[in-house]
Amino acid sequence: MIGIEQQSNTPSGFLGNCEHGKFIGIVDVTSSVGSEGISSSDLEIQQGLEPGYIYRRTGIKNRFYKSAESSFLDLALQSVKKLMLNTGISPSDISALICASTTFDRNSPSLACQVMNYIDPDGTNNDCFAVDIDAACSGYVYALSIAKGKLTELDIHDKKKFAIVVTNEVYSDYLGHSPSSDILFGDASTATLIEISDVINENWKAVLHKFHTGSTRDDNNSICIYSENGIGKMSMKGAFVYENAIKTISYSTEKILKLCDLHLDDIDLFVTHQANGKIIDSISRKINVDKSKFYINIDQYGNTGASSVPLCLAEIYANGKKSDVRLKTVLTTFGSGFTFGTIFAELFVSL
Whole-number Cα distances in Å, 205 to 27, 29, 241, 327, 348: 6, 9, 33, 11, 5
Q: Are residues 164 and 53 in the same domain?
A: yes
Q: Are residues 235 and 317 in the same domain?
A: yes
**Tens digits of per-residue pLDDT, 309-332?**
999 999 999 998 888 889 999 999
pLDDT at 152 over 80: yes
Q: Are residues 39 and 155 in the same domain?
A: yes
Q: Which domain holds residue 178?
A: 23-197
Q: Are residues 216 and 192 in the same domain?
A: no
Instruction: Show which of 163, 197, 231 is a domain's final residue.
Output: 197
From CA 112, how far away is CA 264, in angstroms rounded? 37
Q: Are residues 29 and 158 in the same domain?
A: yes
pLDDT at 16 over 90: no
> Among 338, 45, 31, which Cα is nearest to 183's?
45
Looking at residue 244, its pLDDT comes to: 96
Cα end-to-end distance, the chain, whole Å: 10
From CA 92, how far away is CA 90, in angstroms rounded? 5
CB 96, CB 163: distance < 8 Å? yes
Looking at residue 8, its pLDDT comes to: 42
306 falls within a domain: yes
1 falls within a domain: no
Looking at residue 125, its pLDDT comes to: 95
CATH of the domain at 32: 3.40.47.10
Instruction: Show which of 174, 197, 220 is a domain's final residue.
Output: 197
Q: Are residues 225 and 320 in the same domain?
A: yes
Which amino acid would we find at residue 57? R
Q: Are residues 271 and 322 in the same domain?
A: yes
Q: Are residues 177 and 218 in the same domain?
A: no
**Tens digits of per-residue pLDDT, 168-181?**
999 999 998 888 89
Contacts of residue 199, Cβ cutoff 8 Å, sequence gap at least 6: 23
225 falls within a domain: yes
What is the pLDDT confidence band of residue 9, given thresholds at 50, 70 and 90?
very low
pLDDT at 37 over 80: yes
Name the domain count of the chain.
2
17 falls within a domain: no
Instruction: Show which of 175, 197, 219 is a domain's final residue.
Output: 197
Q: What is the mean pLDDT of the chain?
A: 93
Output the pTM of the full model.
0.94
**Tens digits of per-residue pLDDT, 189-217?**
999 999 999 999 999 999 999 999 999 99
pLDDT at 19 over 80: no
